[in-house]
Chain A
Amino acid sequence: MSASPSTFWLARHELMLMRRDVSRLRRKVVWILLGVFASMHLVGLAMLRALRRQETTETQFTMMLSIGLAFIFGLMLAKALTSAVHAIHGRRDLDLLFSAPVPTHRVVAVRMLAVALGTALPFLFIVAPFANVFALMGLPRYLAVFGVIIAFALVSTVIGLLMALGLLKLVGARRTEIAAQIIGAVFGAAAFLLSQARVLLPEQLRETLWLALFERAASVDKGGDPVWMWPGQAASADPRALAIILGGAIVFFALSVRLVAPAVAWWARASFGAPGPIVGAQRKRAQRPLAFQPGVTRALFVKEWRLLARNPLTVFHTLMKSLYLAPLVVVALRADDPLLGSAAVAGLVVAIALQLASALASNTVSGEDARDLIAAAPVSPARLRLVKLAAAMTPVLILVALSSAALAIVSVKAALWTLGMSAAAAASAGLMELWHEEPPSRTDLRRRTHDLSALTFIETAMTLAFGGATFFAVNGSPLAFAPAAIAAALLVALAPKSARKAAA
């Protein structure tokens, strides 16, 4: 009788699946990502020069690095949680693997290693240009940051896995995926707000904290060794810190997976085939009379709004996005120059408009549940797309109109720029959604799903570009042309050939 497949064999299977996902990325998206990756090296170079100009001491830099890595760890936790839930609940092949003659802990270990790799990759992508620049400029020891990222990915995967199991026990298999995404979004927002602490905190408290940090740096220089600085030290290739963090993470991962493997297997089996939440059935309400209204456009609008309103994740993400307003609202309130404050708020409103438009358009266009039903309806595809986009853009329009009205009290100029740039940003988000929605065959839909993470990067770049362009435009600065050109270039790069031909 042959032996059961080894961990290596299983890992190769997982890697093959991951490689297939990557190979499904459109070539254009890969080129854009490579372009972003290359240009991030320039940001790294600028950062290194600034650090040298400010004569930042090594201890101060290690502290900054530790704080930055803590921020990354928060984001990693968010990603690891959703990935761990998907690994247990979302991918149905666990049932097949558990029915095979392979030890359970081996299957779980390999699956969790895949989660850890998936968690680490985006952050390695972000950190690599900075580490490369540091290495090229004579500081190769900072390449050790890759080890810290991998260690963090292992630890966050275990924490994500434990949280996923806790959620499964608390809310059951049906609601765990939604709950995990909500918690993930909260982590993301919390990490963002923490990163903005410098802006949010009152000046006095800020100065006190800064002073405390410098005092702590001085005490470290005198021989102190605070634990919270170990990640920064490890990233600077301090052998003891690196050994503790990387070695500790590997041991923690191996032991934890071994201990929780039976629970993972049990929940994977229990959640197999669990249907979605029965919301309507549980909410007994007075049954309404059967009423029908005429009109194709009306029917489409009502259907899209109903589905948007009943998608808890969209509603939640929309609410969370308004949290991102906080730092700039604080800036606006504190600024001595009212125009500067208004410009910051205008830029932020435009950025939120793009993000929100993208999320809602994704729901109405790509999230269409009954694609064939819509395609078989006696309505032209162009009208369908237009109504779907209009339904998605209505909430954005309301948000932008309210924000612009409030801004107009301080600066009419800022309000007008907000209206115009928000319209352009929302339209760009809508176009990106339409271009990556077609053609609607099953194969392309699957590919689109794998394009999504890459598109998220591009969408973030577009958000920053539109927000930055608005900020500079309100201030009357010619610098506005640079981010506007970046946004336009990204849009043109993403456009399908047919759209470029039509525009020409």
Chain B
Amino acid sequence: MPSLALDIRGLVKRFDRPAVDGLDLQVRAGELYTLLGPNGAGKTTTLRMVAGLLDPDGGRIEVCGIDIAADPIAAKRVVAWLPDEPLLYDRLTPVEYLQFIAGLWSVSPDVAATRGRDLLGLLGLWEHRDERCEGFSRGMRQKTVLAGALLREPKLMILDEPLTGLDAAAARLVKDLLHARVADGATVILTTHILDVAERMADRIGIIRAGRLVAEGTLDELRQRAGLRHETLEELFLDVVAGRAEAA
């Protein structure tokens, strides 16, 4: 298995202005990496390019050793992308949704049935498995989508704001499941604006500003590089994005 789950070199994406501007980012296999940055910093654009949803204007992305420009289908097989808005079909039931996901990612029927049953039970959706998703709360929708992602046991999970709108119990469940995936050897990359979550969950933290990585490391490493004057990640983050501290 390659030591890097994600290897980004010189990534560029422009819309009206550069959204991602020569980004270099490496995430090791088996770690939980949190990407932070102010609004419009280029986090979601970067992750959408990793998921194969946007074509870069320049640079190179490798996922688990696969160049996504050379073999996008192979790259997509190992990645699960969970955006902030759950990608769900209102008129399908959770079971039908999982059947669809299993078909798209070619999960064998026996494996899918076992994992599907376990995931629906674990996420508290078993009782609702034959109800259409249109009446589900945001938390239930988020959990259904998470079940779909976990069903195919991806090597790299990318989550954009995964805890938005979840109650405390659902947020805790999602965090536990992500830790369990990391413990099983998968890699998780998530973006969040809740800095406490990043502080508690992440093995390493990257801070992105104006499409470039301006700080990276464990929380302790970030503090040391910034001169140990920051008590919390929030203080450090605000100084880094304001350009008052360079911790990279």
Contact = CB atoms under 8 A, between A and B. Distances in A.
Do A and B belong to a common assembly? yes
24 contacts: A275-B135, A276-B135, A279-B132, A285-B130, A288-B130, A290-B95, A291-B113, A292-B98, A292-B102, A293-B99, A299-B102, A300-B100, A302-B103, A303-B96, A306-B96, A307-B91, A369-B87, A369-B89, A372-B48, A372-B87, A375-B52, A377-B76, A378-B106, A379-B104
Interface stretch (B77-85, B161-169, B217-225, B226-234): B77-85
B52 A307 contact: no
Interface string B88-115: 1111110110111011111111101100
B73 interface: yes
Scoring B74, B80, B103 by chain A CB atoms within 10 A of each residue's CB, the highest score goes to B103
A379 B135 contact: no
Given A293-B103, A378-B74, A303 B92 contact: yes
B135 A278 contact: yes
B53 interface: yes
B100 A372 contact: no
Nearest to B104: A377
Contacts of B76: 376-378
B246 interface: no
A280 B130 contact: yes
Interface in A269-318: 275-281, 285, 287-288, 290-296, 298-300, 302-303, 306-307, 310-311
A280 B104 contact: no
Contacts of B135: 275-281
A437 to B, nearest CB: 16
Nearest to A368: B89
A377 B105 contact: yes
A296 B104 contact: yes
Contacts of B51: 372, 376
A306 B134 contact: no
Contacts of B95: 288, 290
A294 B109 contact: yes
Contacts of B48: 372
Contacts of A275: 134-135
A306 B110 CA distance: 22
A288 to B, nearest CB: 7
A375 B53 contact: yes
A280 B132 CA distance: 5
A370 interface: yes
Interface in A329-381: 369-380
B188 to A, nearest CB: 16
Contacts of B131: 278, 280-281
A292 B74 contact: no
Contact of B88 (A279, A296, A370): A370
A299 B79 contact: no
A349 B217 CA distance: 66
B143 interface: no
Interface in B204-221: none
B42 interface: no
B181 interface: no
A307 B89 contact: yes
> Chain B interface: which size bin?
35 or more
B79 A376 contact: yes
B186 to A, nearest CB: 16
A277 B132 CA distance: 10
> Chain A interface: which size bin?
35 or more
Contacts of B104: 296, 299-300, 374, 377-379
A277 B99 contact: no
Interface in B38-69: 48, 51-53
Contacts of A310: 91, 132
Given A276-B135, A280-B132, A379-B73, 4 more contacts: A279-B91, A290-B129, A371-B87, A372-B48
A380 B128 CA distance: 33
Given A290-B113, A292-B116, A378-B76, A369 B90 contact: yes
Nearest to A297: B103
Scoring A280, A295, A374 by chain B CB atoms within 10 A of each residue's CB, the highest score goes to A280
Nearest to A379: B104
Interface string B179-212: 0000000000000000000000000000000000
A83 to B, nearest CB: 24
B175 interface: no
B166 to A, nearest CB: 17
Contacts of A379: 73, 104
Contact of A290 (B88, B103, B107, B116): B116
A370 B91 contact: no
Nearest to A289: B113
A372 B53 contact: yes
B106 A294 contact: yes
A373 to B, nearest CB: 4
A172 to B, nearest CB: 14
A291 B114 CA distance: 10
Contact of A373 (B77, B87, B98, B117): B87
A376 B99 contact: no
Q: Can you list the 3 inter-chain pairs with the closest CB atoms, starting with the nearest? A: A299-B103, A278-B135, A280-B132
A153 B116 CA distance: 54
Scoring B110, B117, B132 by chain A CB atoms within 10 A of each residue's CB, the highest score goes to B132
B77 A378 contact: yes
A288 B117 CA distance: 12
A316 to B, nearest CB: 15
Interface in A195-232: none
Nearest to A383: B73
A289 B100 CA distance: 16
